[in-house]
Amino acid sequence: MKTGTETQMELTRTNYWADFTQLTKMRLAFSVVFSSFAGYLLAADTFDWSLLLMLLIGGFGLVGASNAYNQIIEIDLDALMSRTRNRPLPAGRITKIQAFWTASLLSLLGIYSLFLINTKTAFFGGLSLLIYVAIYTPLKTKTPLAVFVGAFPGAIPFMLGWVAATGEFGVEPGMLFMLQFFWQFPHFWAIGWQLDADYQKAGFRMLPTGKPDQATAFQIVFYTLWTILISLLPYTHYTGSLQLTAVGALATFIVGLGLLFFALRLMQQKTNAAARTLTLVSILYITLVQMIYIVDKFLMQ
């Protein structure tokens, strides 16, 4: 039978882990790590498990650090929004100092892990952290262009895997960067649409027109079309060693049509429910496209 002290220690560990996952946005961090893993698989001819482990640790460390620094800076704004007021910092479960040291240790772990792979990977990883924390975060309350700036660090993980595997930056990782860069606009604007009322409480300006209207919906469709076109570029064989077969291109196009359908539905309905569906579909889209690229490389070429 457990004593009261043992029970309290278990609760403390459970609560700390829950707060850590919220502070670092662990689910988001793992999705970003998956993008890096996909980029690595597209570039690598043979697996280097130690390199892959460093990539996963480095990616998680830097994404977790970015999110933690972001929450330190936005602690007062997070307290104003229903979605974020129960996060560890605004709720007072951890202090700014504790969060700062957590973020700093994760930053060092992330950059050092990527540096063990090669200097280019460490450079791009560090650059993503810098842009996210020092530029994107302060701009969120100033201009809708913050989403454009935030799309840069958000697009780096997919290409980071390629750079980690090859030690080079060229047309192939540039293509992966472009795909994830343009995808983020329909994805984050769909999130901004459904959370607009909450964002307004904190003064965040996340939608391109400042409100969920027809013009915003049109831009979501516009960038969705660009995302689909870019996703098909490897079929042209003008993207170096990153190529798609006809089967892979067809599968990518069909998945893109699904994304476009729900973007058009949002433009037609202009409801939070349609925006929520598009958010989920956009996550499914980028995951499926990455998987199609990988399967096409290993099974079709």
For residue 59, pLDDT over 60 is answered with: yes
Map tokens 């063990």 to a residue.
Answer: 116
Mean pLDDT score of the chain: 91
At 5, is the pLDDT very low, low, confident or very high (cuts 50, 70, 90)?
A: very low
Q: What's the CA gap between 113 and 87, in Å, rounded?
A: 28
pLDDT at 4: 43
Give the confidence band of 299 by pLDDT, cuts at 50, 70, 90. confident
Q: pLDDT category, 301, cuts 50, 70, 90?
A: low
Lowest-confidence region among 83-87, 113-117, 257-261: 83-87
User: DSSP code of 81?
Assistant: S
Flag whether pLDDT at 2 surpasses 70: no
d(CA 88, CA 125): 26
- Residue 5, judged by CB atoms within 10 A of its CB (0-12, 13-18, 19+), counts as exposed
pTM strictly above 0.85? yes
pLDDT digits (tens, 9 = 90+) for 201-254: 888 888 999 899 999 999 999 999 999 999 999 999 899 999 999 999 999 999
What is the percent of the chain with per-residue pLDDT over 90, rounded to a whole number?
76
Type of residue found at 67? N
CATH number assigned to the domain covering 8-169: 1.10.357.140
Predicted confidence band at 18 (pLDDT cuts at 50, 70, 90)? confident
* Long-range contacts of the stretch 231-240 (C-beta < 8 A, 24+): 231/179, 231/256, 231/289, 232/256, 233/175, 234/175, 234/293, 238/171, 239/171, 239/172, 239/175, 240/170, 240/171, 240/172, 240/175
Task: Kindly compute the dihedral angle of the four CA atoms of residues 182, 36, 68, 76, in this order, to the nearest 10 degrees.
Answer: 10
User: Where is mean pLDDT largest: 5-14, 31-40, 246-255?
Assistant: 246-255
> pLDDT higher for 83 or 292?
292
Band of pLDDT at residue 83, cut at 50, 70 and 90: confident
Question: What does the pLDDT read at residue 8?
Answer: 42
Residue recorded with tokens 């993980």:
157
Residue 169 has pLDDT above 70, yes or no: yes
Distance CA 194, CA 197 (A): 8
Residue 298 predicted with pLDDT over 80: yes
Going from the C-alpha of 3 to that of each of 6, 8, 226, 244, the distances in angstroms are 5, 9, 60, 61
Long-range contacts of range 233-238, CB-CB < 8 Å, 24 or more positions apart? 233/175, 234/175, 234/293, 238/171
Q: Of the given ranges (83-87, 97-101, 176-180, 263-267), which has the lowest mean pLDDT?
A: 83-87
**Residue 201: exposure state from Cβ atoms within 10 A (0-12, 13-18, ≥19):** middle
| Torsion sign over Cα 88, 94, 95, 97 | negative
